[in-house]
A and B are shown apart, each in its own frame.
Chain A
Amino acid sequence: MPDTRLFLERRSYRRRRMMDAVRMLPLLCALLWLVVPMMWPNASTDAAPQTALSAALWYLFVIWVLAIAGSFALWRRIRRFDEETAAPLSADDTRALAQTSSGQPRD
């Protein structure tokens, strides 16, 4: 049945935005890892100053560390939300839980 509630209480709202972040993170990483290195001058292009390998190494690994940290932080936050929701269930919480657990968030 279509969920007709348009607006959520604060906590469910926050959790959904966290899930949005979970969904966006890989896209951001793909952008930084796939698209940016394609723009670097390499041996086959004639551009005189080639990208230094050590610079590329730093770039890729720093993004890697940031991506892992981001993923870890999101996991922590979502787990905390879920634990808070799972603990003492008030009527409001139950409703929010039913909404978040019934498949994909709709907004």
Chain B
Amino acid sequence: MVTLNQLIIVCLAYVALLFVVAFLAERAALRGRGGWLLRSPLVYTLSLSIYCTAWTFYGAVGYAARSGLEYVTIYLGPSLVMIGWWWVLRRLVRIGRTQRVTSVADLISARFGKSNLLAVLVTAMAVVGVTPYIALQLQSVTLSVSIFAAPEAASGQLGQINETSALWVAAGLALFTLVFGTRNLNVNERHHGVVIAVALEAVVKLFALLAVGAFVVWGVAGGVAETVARIDASPIAAWQTSGSRWTALIVVSAAAFVCLPRMFQVMVVENDDARHLQIASWAFPLYLLAISLFVVPIAVVGLELMPAGANPDLYVLTIPLSQGQNGLAMLAFLGGFSSATSMVIVATLALSTMVSNHIVMPLWLKLGAAGAQQSGDVRNVVIRARRLSVIVIISLGYLYYRASGGSGALAAIGLISFGGVAQFLPALLGGIFWRGATRMGAVAGLLTGFSLWMYTMLLPSFGVGVALPATVFENGLLGWGILRPEAMFGITGLDPTVHAVWWSLSLNALMFFVVSIFSFPTPLERLQGAQFVNVFDGTSASARGWTVSEGGADDLMIMSQRILGASEAHAFFAGQAVQQGRVGHPPVPTPEFVQALERELAAAVGAATANAMIGQIIGGQAITVQDLMAVADESAQILEYSSKLEAKSRQLTETARELGRANEKLTQLSLQKDSFLSQISHELRTPMTSIRSFSEILRDMEGLSGQEKTRYASIIHSETIRLTRLLDDLLDLSVLENGQVSLNTMRTNLHDVIEQAVTTAQASSSRDIVLRRRPDSEDMAVFTDGDRLAQVFINLVTNAIKYCDASRPVLDIAVRREDGEVIIAFTDNGSGIPADAQNLVFEKFARLGQGEGDGAGLGLAICREIMTRLGGDIRYVALEKGGRFEVWLSALAPVKPAQRLLPT
């Protein structure tokens, strides 16, 4: 059996080890060494394990022995939060780093316009919520000591020993926190000594619990299969948890994991590198898994081995002791001791930061009428305030422990504490995700949630008739039945924890939302809100709040020295001066400089206090609506710029598309030219061949009859005519294109021109076509070159005769007047020109199809040139079926502009 004295010696040695480790870590950090360990993801993950307190170490087993697997919810919630680091924690850590946040109260206060009211509120709530938790740790340590003391002490002495040990533990914890937590004002609020000691304790408690677990599974039960068999045979063999309780516990533990001041301290404030968070996202759930792995086996074996009256909360200790494993029991005790002490140290540190920054410092600033300028060394005041807070908080925990008489199962107290801090969640999440959240909303939500928590969870936990009289439980507050603390709004039958968590959190969130949407934030709130919510947007749109008129750099320097310390303040001012390009001179208090200084001070005393202190010197913050507008303008400018860019790029795309179209047309034209050249060579070659062969016959063949000679000569003649016509066409076009044409314009009757054209066209073609004309409408005078116009008409009529694909071709020629213009429309009953060729028919060398007909593809090109010269136009109009050519003529106006004489 381990004696009490042995226990005390081991304990003291362990504490001494912690002090040494913390001291070495502090010294290494001061000298800038050991960063590989102090700032490693491993230490970060291990320091997160202060989540696992004595409640975890002892209480989880007791919890499992009472209600089966329910205990695991306490670990599943945080595991979910860590695995989902991307959603909330990533954002919190980034905000914590950019805003130099010192605590959860600081974060909420800074988000809602650096409101001191909110900071005080959150601090007070945190103190009320966490004090029972600290008491719980003291209780667990004294309980475990009493296990060792029990055999040798008479029952009267036992109570004495409990009180003494609680007092000594409290004193020792206070000392450790004072030495390593408040030795100096760290600019970043990082405490390497504390963190490394906590990490060491994390290893010890995990190792201890695993050792006890392994002993129970393999030493007592005899293997995994046997252990499972024992679980199935135990009183907790069946799943007992109701769905609502299961969900409520996971939610509340997840919320508490984010909101607990000590978790916020190690997770956000002490975070050195945002990447560590991602490593912790799998490493910390692994830790939780390991620490909860053996809980059920220990509980089951304890239920089996221990006498009926034994406290299941202490199975971790009593099982090894009952099996004579004194060393293991000692290790288990150290594990529980580590869980308790690390939690108390960090929780006290976090709370004391909050109390001194948000309650003591503002009070001190208010009371010292002269304010920040004349008063003494602020540094000392802050440190003294922190030390005082540490002592007060640990004393509160001790007093609570004494007052509650160490009653109640560990798990119940822990859950109550979780429910209290979970009330920060709506304001916290709303603050970092929703720009519309306002200070009024946060205050309303927090007050609602907190009072409901007090009324439905904390006060009833003391028992009926202790904090709340029995009549309140029976009939509700002030006799209102709907306000019964365990059946709010008349809804009975809910599990008390589910009831309290549900009503406090849901009404908290509802009030937060409703008041937020109906209240209007101050400019500073809106600026801070935008910075918090858009923390990942990369814009450092800083809150330029300060209009610097009075209060030069000197006053700011004096104040900074008092808070940051002389050397740090000098270094900061020198750095800022260099940034301003003023080497060797003090920096000018520009708004940017004051902003940076405020951040620096906020890291030491919190956002609200820093804001108030600078406000005293500079003379009030002046964020005006204009400032907000300026920020808005900036984004508007960016928007405008981007829309301009967009328009430009659209233009470019359009141009590129047009270029593409032009290029396509050019390619097509070039192809046409090639095909025309081969066509023209062919056209020239055919008559040339026959001319050559027939002239050879005439020259070489003897005895040709006169008739034959005449026939051959006429073939040669007609071929020559064909050649000439082709060359004429080419010449004609080239002349027309170069504008070297002479026009013989005169008054002409349109009917005569059409008549002439139709006659000529019909005479020269073999195919028959039915012509429909209206001689009355044709009879009008136009001022034009009749011969040229006739050439155009001939071409159109010839084309119709040649290419109309109807079985009985019909050509309709209609003349109409429109606004001083004469339009002659040639419509045939053929299928018209295919759509893809319509914009090419007037181009030179364009021929529909390959090798059809005997034209060279010049006719319509010539027509268009002629019409252009005549001051008119020729168009192809696609109809539903087929199409028509329209010749446009200016009715009476002479066509002088287009008229040119041959060059001299």
Give me the interface of A with B, judged by CB distance under 8 Å.
1-2, 4, 19, 22-23, 25-27, 29-30, 33-34, 37-44, 50-54, 56-57, 60-61, 64-65, 67-69, 71-72, 75, 78, 102-104
Instruction: Give the chain A neighbours of B278 by CB distance below 8 A.
Output: 75, 78
* 12 CB < 8 A contacts A-B: A4-B646, A37-B243, A38-B246, A38-B247, A42-B243, A43-B238, A64-B289, A71-B83, A75-B281, A75-B282, A102-B538, A104-B536
* Pair B76/A44 contact, Cβ less than 8 Å: no
Min CB–CB distance B297 → chain A (angstroms):
10
Question: 7 tightest A-B contacts by CB?
Answer: A26-B84, A38-B243, A71-B282, A51-B239, A50-B238, A72-B282, A103-B536
Which residue of B83, B239, B638 is within 8 Å of A25 (Cβ)? Answer: B83
Min CB–CB distance B278 → chain A (angstroms):
5
Residues in B518-543 with C-beta less than 8 Å from chain A: 536-538
Instruction: Give the chain A neighbours of B68 by CB distance below 8 A.
Output: 53
Instruction: Give the chain A neighbours of B240 by CB distance below 8 A.
Output: 42-43
- Distance of A67 Cα from B286 Cα, bound (Å): 10
Min CB–CB distance A75 → chain B (angstroms):
5
* Pair B242/A53 contact, Cβ less than 8 Å: no
- Distance of A4 Cα from B641 Cα, bound (Å): 14
* Pair B642/A52 contact, Cβ less than 8 Å: no
Residue of B with least CB distance to A60:
B72
Q: Which of B72, B236, B293, B537 has the most CB of A within 10 A?
A: B72
Instruction: Give the chain B neighbours of A68 by CB distance below 8 A.
Output: 282, 285-286, 289
- Distance of A75 Cα from B82 Cα, bound (Å): 13
* Pair B83/A75 contact, Cβ less than 8 Å: no
Extra pairs beyond A19-B86, A68-B286, A71-B83 (7, CB < 8 Å): A26-B83, A33-B80, A34-B247, A52-B238, A53-B231, A68-B285, A102-B538
B228 at interface by CB-CB < 8 Å: yes
Which residue of A34, A54, A67 is within 8 Å of B250 (Cβ)? Answer: A34
Residues in B282-297 with C-beta less than 8 Å from chain A: 282, 285-286, 289, 293, 296
Min CB–CB distance B659 → chain A (angstroms):
23
Residue of B with least CB distance to A104:
B536
Instruction: Give the chain A neighbours of B72 by CB distance below 8 A.
Output: 60
Q: Which of B83, B278, B537 has the most CB of A within 10 A?
A: B83
Instruction: Give the chain B neighbours of A1 by CB distance below 8 A.
Output: 638, 641-642
- What sequence of 0s and 1s flags, for each residue 219-247 of chain B, a beta carbon within 8 Å of any chain A beta carbon? 00000000010011010111111110011
B279 at interface by CB-CB < 8 Å: yes
Min CB–CB distance B688 → chain A (angstroms):
61
Task: Say whether, besides A53-B231, A53-B296, A68-B289, A103 and B538 are in contact (CB < 8 Å).
Answer: yes
Instruction: Give the chain B neighbours of A71 by CB distance below 8 A.
Output: 83, 281-282, 285
* Pair A60/B69 contact, Cβ less than 8 Å: yes
Which residue of A23, A43, A57 is within 8 Å of B69 (Cβ)? Answer: A57
Residue of A with least CB distance to B296:
A57
Instruction: Give the chain B neighbours of A30 by CB distance below 8 A.
Output: 80
Min CB–CB distance B540 → chain A (angstroms):
13
- Distance of A66 Cα from B81 Cα, bound (Å): 16
Instruction: Give the chain B neighbours of A44 by CB distance below 8 A.
Output: 242
Residue of A with least CB distance to B251:
A34
Min CB–CB distance A69 → chain B (angstroms):
8
Residue of B with least CB distance to A65:
B289
Residue of B with least CB distance to A26:
B84
Residues in B262-318 with C-beta less than 8 Å from chain A: 278-279, 281-282, 285-286, 289, 293, 296
